[in-house]
Protein backbone atom coordinates (compact mmCIF):
# COMPACT_ATOMS: atom_id res chain seq x y z
CA UNK A 1 0.00 0.00 0.00
CA UNK A 2 1.46 3.22 -1.07
CA UNK A 3 0.91 5.47 1.86
CA UNK A 4 3.72 7.72 0.90
CA UNK A 5 2.36 10.67 -1.00
CA UNK A 6 3.70 11.42 -4.42
CA UNK A 7 4.76 14.83 -3.31
CA UNK A 8 7.15 13.48 -0.69
CA UNK A 9 8.59 11.14 -3.26
CA UNK A 10 9.23 13.92 -5.72
CA UNK A 11 10.40 16.22 -2.96
CA UNK A 12 8.69 19.44 -1.85
CA UNK A 13 8.29 21.90 -4.72
CA UNK A 14 10.14 25.17 -4.29
CA UNK A 15 8.42 27.78 -2.17
CA UNK A 16 7.61 29.86 -5.24
CA UNK A 17 5.89 26.95 -6.97
CA UNK A 18 3.84 25.68 -4.08
CA UNK A 19 0.09 25.79 -4.84
CA UNK A 20 -0.47 27.85 -1.68
CA UNK A 21 2.02 30.48 -2.81
CA UNK A 22 0.47 30.58 -6.27
CA UNK A 23 -2.99 30.93 -4.71
CA UNK A 24 -1.73 33.92 -2.75
CA UNK A 25 -0.19 35.49 -5.85
CA UNK A 26 -3.58 34.99 -7.50
CA UNK A 27 -5.25 36.67 -4.53
CA UNK A 28 -3.03 39.72 -4.91
CA UNK A 29 -3.71 39.86 -8.68
CA UNK A 30 -7.44 39.49 -8.07
CA UNK A 31 -7.58 42.21 -5.41
CA UNK A 32 -5.43 44.62 -7.43
CA UNK A 33 -7.40 44.20 -10.65
CA UNK A 34 -10.76 44.00 -8.90
CA UNK A 35 -10.00 46.84 -6.51
CA UNK A 36 -8.96 49.24 -9.26
CA UNK A 37 -11.96 48.26 -11.41
CA UNK A 38 -14.36 48.67 -8.51
CA UNK A 39 -13.00 52.07 -7.43
CA UNK A 40 -12.84 53.35 -11.03
CA UNK A 41 -16.42 52.25 -11.62
CA UNK A 42 -17.79 53.63 -8.34
CA UNK A 43 -16.19 57.03 -8.95
CA UNK A 44 -18.06 57.33 -12.24
CA UNK A 45 -21.27 55.38 -11.83
CA UNK A 46 -23.29 58.23 -10.29
CA UNK A 47 -22.27 60.67 -13.06
CA UNK A 48 -23.06 58.94 -16.35
CA UNK A 49 -22.91 62.18 -18.34
CA UNK A 50 -19.41 62.95 -17.12
CA UNK A 51 -18.38 59.45 -18.12
CA UNK A 52 -20.06 59.86 -21.52
CA UNK A 53 -18.10 63.06 -22.08
CA UNK A 54 -14.84 61.34 -21.17
CA UNK A 55 -15.49 58.66 -23.82
CA UNK A 56 -16.53 61.28 -26.40
CA UNK A 57 -13.28 63.16 -25.74
CA UNK A 58 -11.26 60.27 -27.22
CA UNK A 59 -12.94 61.00 -30.58
CA UNK A 60 -12.72 57.35 -31.58
CA UNK A 61 -16.28 56.04 -31.46
CA UNK A 62 -19.17 57.79 -33.24
CA UNK A 63 -20.61 60.45 -30.90
CA UNK A 64 -23.85 58.70 -29.95
CA UNK A 65 -22.18 55.32 -29.49
CA UNK A 66 -19.52 56.96 -27.30
CA UNK A 67 -22.34 58.41 -25.19
CA UNK A 68 -23.93 55.00 -24.58
CA UNK A 69 -20.56 53.36 -23.92
CA UNK A 70 -19.91 56.12 -21.39
CA UNK A 71 -23.21 55.42 -19.66
CA UNK A 72 -22.65 51.67 -19.48
CA UNK A 73 -18.93 51.36 -18.80
CA UNK A 74 -18.93 52.41 -15.12
CA UNK A 75 -21.63 49.85 -14.32
CA UNK A 76 -19.66 47.11 -16.08
CA UNK A 77 -16.54 48.12 -14.16
CA UNK A 78 -18.36 47.99 -10.82
CA UNK A 79 -19.75 44.52 -11.62
CA UNK A 80 -16.41 43.11 -12.80
CA UNK A 81 -14.64 44.70 -9.85
CA UNK A 82 -17.11 43.21 -7.39
CA UNK A 83 -16.81 39.72 -8.92
CA UNK A 84 -13.02 39.90 -8.81
CA UNK A 85 -12.83 41.22 -5.26
CA UNK A 86 -15.20 38.49 -4.12
CA UNK A 87 -13.46 35.84 -6.22
CA UNK A 88 -16.56 34.75 -8.09
CA UNK A 89 -16.22 33.59 -11.71
CA UNK A 90 -12.67 34.87 -11.51
CA UNK A 91 -11.54 33.57 -14.90
CA UNK A 92 -14.47 35.02 -16.85
CA UNK A 93 -14.39 38.34 -14.99
CA UNK A 94 -10.63 38.63 -15.47
CA UNK A 95 -10.95 37.80 -19.18
CA UNK A 96 -13.56 40.53 -19.73
CA UNK A 97 -11.57 43.00 -17.61
CA UNK A 98 -8.45 42.16 -19.63
CA UNK A 99 -10.22 42.82 -22.94
CA UNK A 100 -11.53 46.14 -21.55
CA UNK A 101 -8.06 47.16 -20.40
CA UNK A 102 -6.52 46.35 -23.78
CA UNK A 103 -9.22 48.55 -25.34
CA UNK A 104 -8.35 51.32 -22.85
CA UNK A 105 -4.66 51.04 -23.71
CA UNK A 106 -5.44 51.28 -27.43
CA UNK A 107 -7.65 54.31 -26.76
CA UNK A 108 -5.05 56.13 -24.68
CA UNK A 109 -2.26 55.31 -27.14
CA UNK A 110 -4.44 56.50 -30.00
CA UNK A 111 -5.18 59.82 -28.24
CA UNK A 112 -1.47 60.21 -27.55
CA UNK A 113 -0.52 59.42 -31.13
CA UNK A 114 -3.11 61.84 -32.55
CA UNK A 115 -1.85 64.62 -30.29
CA UNK A 116 -5.13 65.05 -28.41
CA UNK A 117 -4.59 66.33 -24.85
CA UNK A 118 -7.07 64.52 -22.66
CA UNK A 119 -7.31 63.05 -19.21
CA UNK A 120 -7.96 59.32 -19.64
CA UNK A 121 -11.15 59.68 -17.62
CA UNK A 122 -10.29 56.43 -15.88
CA UNK A 123 -11.34 57.62 -12.44
CA UNK A 124 -13.91 60.27 -13.35
CA UNK A 125 -12.87 63.65 -14.77
CA UNK A 126 -11.82 63.17 -18.38
CA UNK A 127 -11.92 65.58 -21.25
CA UNK A 128 -9.37 68.02 -22.60
CA UNK A 129 -6.54 69.13 -20.35
CA UNK A 130 -3.44 71.18 -20.88
CA UNK A 131 -0.84 69.28 -22.95
CA UNK A 132 1.60 69.65 -20.04
CA UNK A 133 -0.77 67.76 -17.76
CA UNK A 134 -1.24 64.64 -19.87
CA UNK A 135 0.04 61.43 -18.29
CA UNK A 136 -0.32 58.98 -21.16
CA UNK A 137 2.71 56.84 -20.37
CA UNK A 138 1.76 56.52 -16.71
CA UNK A 139 -1.84 55.62 -17.62
CA UNK A 140 -0.71 53.01 -20.15
CA UNK A 141 1.82 51.44 -17.77
CA UNK A 142 -0.82 51.17 -15.04
CA UNK A 143 -3.19 49.45 -17.46
CA UNK A 144 -0.44 47.11 -18.68
CA UNK A 145 0.17 46.09 -15.05
CA UNK A 146 -3.53 45.36 -14.66
CA UNK A 147 -3.57 43.37 -17.91
CA UNK A 148 -0.80 41.20 -16.43
CA UNK A 149 -2.98 40.60 -13.35
CA UNK A 150 -5.86 39.65 -15.67
CA UNK A 151 -3.60 37.32 -17.69
CA UNK A 152 -2.46 35.56 -14.50
CA UNK A 153 -6.06 35.03 -13.39
CA UNK A 154 -7.17 33.74 -16.78
CA UNK A 155 -4.26 31.29 -16.83
CA UNK A 156 -4.59 30.26 -13.18
CA UNK A 157 -7.97 31.40 -11.81
CA UNK A 158 -7.53 29.47 -8.53
CA UNK A 159 -6.87 32.01 -5.78
CA UNK A 160 -6.83 32.05 -2.01
CA UNK A 161 -9.93 33.20 -0.11
CA UNK A 162 -12.22 33.20 -3.14
CA UNK A 163 -15.97 33.01 -2.87
CA UNK A 164 -16.17 30.45 -5.66
CA UNK A 165 -14.13 27.93 -3.66
CA UNK A 166 -16.51 28.24 -0.74
CA UNK A 167 -19.67 28.47 -2.81
CA UNK A 168 -18.99 25.65 -5.26
CA UNK A 169 -17.14 23.39 -2.80
CA UNK B 1 -7.74 -5.18 5.88
CA UNK B 2 -10.95 -3.46 6.88
CA UNK B 3 -9.05 -0.45 8.05
CA UNK B 4 -7.22 -0.27 4.72
CA UNK B 5 -10.52 -0.31 2.77
CA UNK B 6 -12.01 2.48 4.80
CA UNK B 7 -8.76 4.35 4.45
CA UNK B 8 -8.98 4.10 0.67
CA UNK B 9 -12.66 5.13 0.67
CA UNK B 10 -11.81 8.19 2.74
CA UNK B 11 -9.11 9.09 0.24
CA UNK B 12 -11.43 8.70 -2.74
CA UNK B 13 -14.04 10.80 -1.03
CA UNK B 14 -11.50 13.47 -0.25
CA UNK B 15 -10.35 13.53 -3.87
CA UNK B 16 -13.85 13.66 -5.41
CA UNK B 17 -15.22 17.18 -5.83
CA UNK B 18 -18.08 17.55 -3.40
CA UNK B 19 -20.99 18.45 -5.61
CA UNK B 20 -23.62 17.96 -2.96
CA UNK B 21 -24.09 20.91 -0.66
CA UNK B 22 -22.35 23.37 -3.00
CA UNK B 23 -24.31 25.73 -5.23
CA UNK B 24 -24.86 24.85 -8.86
CA UNK B 25 -22.26 26.77 -10.84
CA UNK B 26 -24.33 27.07 -14.00
CA UNK B 27 -27.37 28.36 -12.14
CA UNK B 28 -25.34 30.97 -10.25
CA UNK B 29 -23.50 31.99 -13.43
CA UNK B 30 -26.78 32.46 -15.29
CA UNK B 31 -28.27 34.54 -12.49
CA UNK B 32 -25.16 36.75 -12.24
CA UNK B 33 -24.98 37.22 -16.04
CA UNK B 34 -28.67 38.09 -16.35
CA UNK B 35 -28.51 40.54 -13.44
CA UNK B 36 -25.34 42.14 -14.84
CA UNK B 37 -26.82 42.65 -18.30
CA UNK B 38 -30.06 43.98 -16.78
CA UNK B 39 -28.12 46.44 -14.61
CA UNK B 40 -26.10 47.77 -17.55
CA UNK B 41 -29.09 48.04 -19.90
CA UNK B 42 -31.20 49.72 -17.19
CA UNK B 43 -28.38 52.14 -16.35
CA UNK B 44 -27.92 53.14 -19.99
CA UNK B 45 -31.66 53.59 -20.53
CA UNK B 46 -32.10 55.68 -17.37
CA UNK B 47 -29.14 57.91 -18.22
CA UNK B 48 -30.45 58.33 -21.76
CA UNK B 49 -33.95 59.22 -20.53
CA UNK B 50 -32.55 61.75 -18.05
CA UNK B 51 -30.51 63.35 -20.81
CA UNK B 52 -33.49 63.50 -23.16
CA UNK B 53 -35.66 65.07 -20.49
CA UNK B 54 -32.94 67.69 -19.84
CA UNK B 55 -32.83 68.48 -23.55
CA UNK B 56 -36.57 69.06 -23.85
CA UNK B 57 -37.04 71.20 -20.74
CA UNK B 58 -37.91 74.89 -21.02
CA UNK B 59 -38.53 76.94 -24.13
CA UNK B 60 -37.05 76.54 -27.58
CA UNK B 61 -36.66 80.18 -28.60
CA UNK B 62 -33.30 81.50 -29.72
CA UNK B 63 -31.79 84.43 -27.83
CA UNK B 64 -30.98 87.59 -29.76
CA UNK B 65 -27.56 87.12 -31.37
CA UNK B 66 -27.85 83.37 -31.89
CA UNK B 67 -28.61 82.36 -35.47
CA UNK B 68 -29.47 78.71 -34.89
CA UNK B 69 -29.58 75.95 -32.29
CA UNK B 70 -26.10 74.83 -31.28
CA UNK B 71 -24.43 77.92 -32.71
CA UNK B 72 -22.64 80.40 -30.48
CA UNK B 73 -24.11 83.82 -29.74
CA UNK B 74 -22.48 86.69 -31.63
CA UNK B 75 -22.03 89.57 -29.23
CA UNK B 76 -21.29 92.18 -31.94
CA UNK B 77 -23.24 91.27 -35.10
CA UNK B 78 -22.19 94.56 -36.73
CA UNK B 79 -18.57 93.36 -37.08
CA UNK B 80 -17.35 93.65 -40.68
CA UNK B 81 -16.42 90.58 -42.71
CA UNK B 82 -12.67 91.21 -42.73
CA UNK B 83 -12.17 90.89 -38.95
CA UNK B 84 -11.38 87.49 -37.41
CA UNK B 85 -13.90 85.55 -35.34
CA UNK B 86 -12.98 84.92 -31.74
CA UNK B 87 -14.89 81.92 -30.40
CA UNK B 88 -15.07 81.53 -26.64
CA UNK B 89 -16.40 78.39 -24.96
CA UNK B 90 -16.99 79.10 -21.29
CA UNK B 91 -18.97 77.84 -18.32
CA UNK B 92 -20.07 80.30 -15.65
CA UNK B 93 -18.85 77.91 -12.94
CA UNK B 94 -15.38 77.45 -14.43
CA UNK B 95 -12.63 79.16 -12.38
CA UNK B 96 -10.17 79.17 -15.31
CA UNK B 97 -12.79 81.03 -17.36
CA UNK B 98 -12.92 83.69 -14.66
CA UNK B 99 -9.13 83.90 -14.79
CA UNK B 100 -9.30 84.46 -18.55
CA UNK B 101 -12.05 87.03 -18.08
CA UNK B 102 -10.03 88.82 -15.38
CA UNK B 103 -6.93 88.90 -17.58
CA UNK B 104 -8.38 89.52 -21.05
CA UNK B 105 -12.02 90.55 -20.50
CA UNK B 106 -11.46 94.28 -20.87
CA UNK B 107 -9.37 93.85 -23.97
CA UNK B 108 -11.76 91.40 -25.66
CA UNK B 109 -14.74 93.59 -24.75
CA UNK B 110 -13.06 96.67 -26.16
CA UNK B 111 -12.03 94.88 -29.37
CA UNK B 112 -15.60 93.65 -29.79
CA UNK B 113 -17.04 97.13 -29.20
CA UNK B 114 -14.62 98.52 -31.82
CA UNK B 115 -15.47 95.66 -34.20
CA UNK B 116 -11.84 94.59 -34.37
CA UNK B 117 -13.03 91.03 -33.99
CA UNK B 118 -16.32 89.16 -34.15
CA UNK B 119 -16.95 87.78 -30.66
CA UNK B 120 -18.93 84.55 -30.60
CA UNK B 121 -19.66 83.04 -27.20
CA UNK B 122 -20.61 79.39 -26.64
CA UNK B 123 -22.03 79.20 -23.14
CA UNK B 124 -21.49 75.69 -21.79
CA UNK B 125 -23.19 74.00 -18.87
CA UNK B 126 -21.34 70.69 -18.50
CA UNK B 127 -19.86 71.58 -15.12
CA UNK B 128 -23.29 71.04 -13.55
CA UNK B 129 -22.77 67.30 -13.97
CA UNK B 130 -19.29 67.44 -12.46
CA UNK B 131 -20.33 69.64 -9.56
CA UNK B 132 -23.74 68.07 -8.96
CA UNK B 133 -25.68 71.32 -9.19
CA UNK B 134 -27.57 73.29 -11.85
CA UNK B 135 -25.86 76.68 -11.63
CA UNK B 136 -24.19 76.53 -15.05
CA UNK B 137 -27.49 75.81 -16.74
CA UNK B 138 -29.38 78.49 -14.79
CA UNK B 139 -26.72 81.14 -15.30
CA UNK B 140 -26.47 80.39 -19.04
CA UNK B 141 -30.25 80.76 -19.26
CA UNK B 142 -30.01 84.01 -17.29
CA UNK B 143 -27.31 85.42 -19.59
CA UNK B 144 -29.34 84.61 -22.73
CA UNK B 145 -32.40 86.30 -21.24
CA UNK B 146 -30.14 89.34 -20.80
CA UNK B 147 -29.03 88.96 -24.45
CA UNK B 148 -32.63 89.54 -25.53
CA UNK B 149 -32.26 93.03 -24.05
CA UNK B 150 -28.90 93.66 -25.64
CA UNK B 151 -27.06 93.05 -22.39
CA UNK B 152 -25.25 89.77 -23.00
CA UNK B 153 -21.69 90.99 -22.59
CA UNK B 154 -22.35 93.15 -19.50
CA UNK B 155 -24.15 90.16 -17.99
CA UNK B 156 -21.36 87.75 -18.93
CA UNK B 157 -18.75 90.00 -17.37
CA UNK B 158 -20.87 90.90 -14.37
CA UNK B 159 -21.50 87.28 -13.47
CA UNK B 160 -17.83 86.28 -13.70
CA UNK B 161 -17.07 89.23 -11.44
CA UNK B 162 -19.09 87.61 -8.64
CA UNK B 163 -18.09 84.00 -9.26
CA UNK B 164 -17.75 82.34 -5.85
CA UNK B 165 -14.18 81.55 -4.87
CA UNK B 166 -15.18 78.00 -4.05
CA UNK B 167 -15.97 76.00 -7.18
CA UNK B 168 -19.32 74.29 -6.92
CA UNK B 169 -21.01 76.86 -4.70
CA UNK B 170 -22.88 78.21 -7.71
CA UNK B 171 -25.22 81.16 -8.01
CA UNK B 172 -28.58 81.84 -6.36
CA UNK B 173 -31.58 83.03 -8.38
CA UNK B 174 -31.36 86.33 -6.49
CA UNK B 175 -27.72 86.81 -7.55
CA UNK B 176 -28.62 86.10 -11.17
CA UNK B 177 -31.32 88.80 -10.99
CA UNK B 178 -28.99 91.30 -9.33
CA UNK B 179 -26.48 90.86 -12.15
CA UNK B 180 -29.29 91.48 -14.68
CA UNK B 181 -30.17 94.71 -12.89
CA UNK B 182 -26.50 95.71 -12.83
CA UNK B 183 -26.19 95.02 -16.58
CA UNK B 184 -28.31 97.96 -17.62
CA UNK B 185 -31.63 96.14 -17.57
CA UNK B 186 -34.16 98.19 -15.64
CA UNK B 187 -37.83 99.03 -15.19
CA UNK B 188 -40.12 96.75 -17.17
CA UNK B 189 -37.01 95.12 -18.60
CA UNK B 190 -36.28 93.45 -15.28
CA UNK B 191 -39.73 91.89 -15.28
CA UNK B 192 -39.23 90.71 -18.84
CA UNK B 193 -35.84 89.25 -17.88
CA UNK B 194 -37.40 87.52 -14.86
CA UNK B 195 -40.25 86.09 -16.94
CA UNK B 196 -37.79 84.80 -19.54
CA UNK B 197 -35.58 83.31 -16.81
CA UNK B 198 -38.42 81.71 -14.86
CA UNK B 199 -39.79 80.04 -18.00
CA UNK B 200 -36.24 79.09 -19.12
CA UNK B 201 -37.20 80.45 -22.54
CA UNK B 202 -33.80 79.61 -24.02
CA UNK B 203 -33.10 76.35 -22.22
CA UNK B 204 -33.21 74.17 -25.32
CA UNK B 205 -30.74 76.54 -26.95
CA UNK B 206 -28.46 76.23 -23.87
CA UNK B 207 -28.59 72.44 -24.16
CA UNK B 208 -28.06 72.53 -27.93
CA UNK B 209 -24.87 74.57 -27.54
CA UNK B 210 -23.57 72.09 -24.97
CA UNK B 211 -24.32 69.13 -27.25
CA UNK B 212 -22.85 70.78 -30.34
CA UNK B 213 -19.66 71.73 -28.51
CA UNK B 214 -19.15 68.15 -27.34
CA UNK B 215 -19.68 66.98 -30.93
CA UNK B 216 -17.11 69.53 -32.06
CA UNK B 217 -14.61 68.10 -29.59
CA UNK B 218 -14.71 71.05 -27.20
CA UNK B 219 -14.93 69.47 -23.78
CA UNK B 220 -13.04 71.81 -21.51
CA UNK B 221 -13.31 75.48 -20.69
CA UNK B 222 -12.14 78.03 -21.46
CA UNK B 223 -11.50 77.06 -25.06
CA UNK B 224 -10.66 80.04 -27.24
CA UNK B 225 -10.31 79.86 -31.00
CA UNK B 226 -9.25 82.60 -33.36
CA UNK B 227 -10.70 81.96 -36.81
CA UNK B 228 -11.20 78.34 -35.81
CA UNK B 229 -7.62 77.86 -34.63
CA UNK B 230 -7.15 77.06 -30.92
CA UNK B 231 -5.46 79.89 -29.06
CA UNK B 232 -2.70 78.78 -26.68
CA UNK B 233 -3.56 80.40 -23.37
CA UNK B 234 -0.31 79.52 -21.66
CA UNK B 235 2.02 82.49 -21.93
CA UNK B 236 -0.61 84.61 -23.69
CA UNK B 237 -0.28 88.33 -22.96
CA UNK B 238 -2.45 91.29 -24.07
CA UNK B 239 0.32 92.16 -26.52
CA UNK B 240 0.63 88.72 -28.12
CA UNK B 241 -3.15 88.42 -28.19
CA UNK B 242 -3.54 91.75 -29.98
CA UNK B 243 -0.79 90.77 -32.43
CA UNK B 244 -2.54 87.49 -33.27
CA UNK B 245 -5.85 89.26 -33.85
CA UNK B 246 -4.12 91.78 -36.07
CA UNK B 247 -2.37 89.04 -38.04
CA UNK B 248 -5.71 87.30 -38.59
CA UNK B 249 -7.37 90.48 -39.87
CA UNK B 250 -7.60 90.61 -43.65
Closest-approach residue (CA) in chain A for B30 = A89
For chain B, what is the mean pLDDT?
Answer: 93
Distance from CA of B249 to the nearest CA of A (A): 27
d(CA B57, CA B80): 36
Q: Would the CB atoms of A53 and B126 count as touching at under 8 Å?
A: yes
Residue A87's pLDDT is what? 97
Q: Using pLDDT thresholds of 50, 70 and 90, give the confidence band for residue A4.
A: very low
Q: Would the CB atoms of A167 and B29 count as touching at under 8 Å?
A: no
Closest-approach residue (CA) in chain A for B39 = A75
Q: Using pLDDT thresholds of 50, 70 and 90, give the confidence band for residue A14.
A: confident
Question: Which of B55, B64, B47 shows the shortest CA–CA distance to B210?
Answer: B55
Q: For residue A12, tell me if it sits in a domain.
A: no
Residues 6+ apart with CB under 8 A from B88: B72, B108, B119, B120, B121, B122, B222, B223, B224
* pLDDT tens digits, one per residue of A112-152: 999 999 999 999 888 888 888 899 999 999 999 999 999 99
Distance from CA of A72 to the nearest CA of B (A): 5
The residue among B92 and A168 whose pLDDT is bigger is B92
pLDDT at B2 over 70: no
Distance from CA of A101 to the nearest CA of B (A): 18
> In terms of domains, do B180 and B119 share one?
yes
ipTM of this complex prediction, to 2 decimal places: 0.88
> In terms of domains, do B86 and B150 share one?
yes
Look at chain A and report how many structural domains it folds into: 1
Count how many pairs of residues, chain A against chain B, have C-beta atoms within 8 Å.
74
Q: For residue A136, tell me if it sits in a domain.
A: yes
Residue to mutate among A5, A49, A73, with most B CBs inside 10 A, is: A49
> In terms of domains, do B44 and B137 share one?
no
Look at chain B and report how many structural domains it folds into: 2
Residues B180-205, mean pLDDT to the nearest whole number: 97
Domain residues for B202?
73-248
CATH number at residue B172: 3.40.30.10
Whether pTM > 0.95 for this model: the answer is: no
> In terms of domains, do B90 and B201 share one?
yes
Query: Which residues numbered 99-138 in A keep a CB inside 8 Å of some CB on B?
Result: 118, 126-130, 132
d(CA B143, CA B145): 5
Residues A82-108, mean pLDDT to the nearest whole number: 98
Q: For residue B219, tell me if it sits in a domain.
A: yes
pLDDT at A81 over 80: yes
> In terms of domains, do B28 and B128 share one?
no
Amino acid sequence: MNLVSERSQAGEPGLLRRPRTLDLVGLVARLLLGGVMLVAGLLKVAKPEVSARAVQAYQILPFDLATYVGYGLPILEVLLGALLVLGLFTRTAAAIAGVLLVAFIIGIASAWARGISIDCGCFGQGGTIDPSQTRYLEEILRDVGLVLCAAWLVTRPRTAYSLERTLFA
Amino acid sequence: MASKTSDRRAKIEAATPKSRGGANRIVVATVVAVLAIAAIVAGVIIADQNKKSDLSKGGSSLPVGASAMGVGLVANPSAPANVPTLDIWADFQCPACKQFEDAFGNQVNEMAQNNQLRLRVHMLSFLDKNLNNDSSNRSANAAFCAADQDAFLPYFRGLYAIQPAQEGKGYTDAQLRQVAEASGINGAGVDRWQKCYDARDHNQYVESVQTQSAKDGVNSTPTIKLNGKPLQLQGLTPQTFAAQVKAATQ
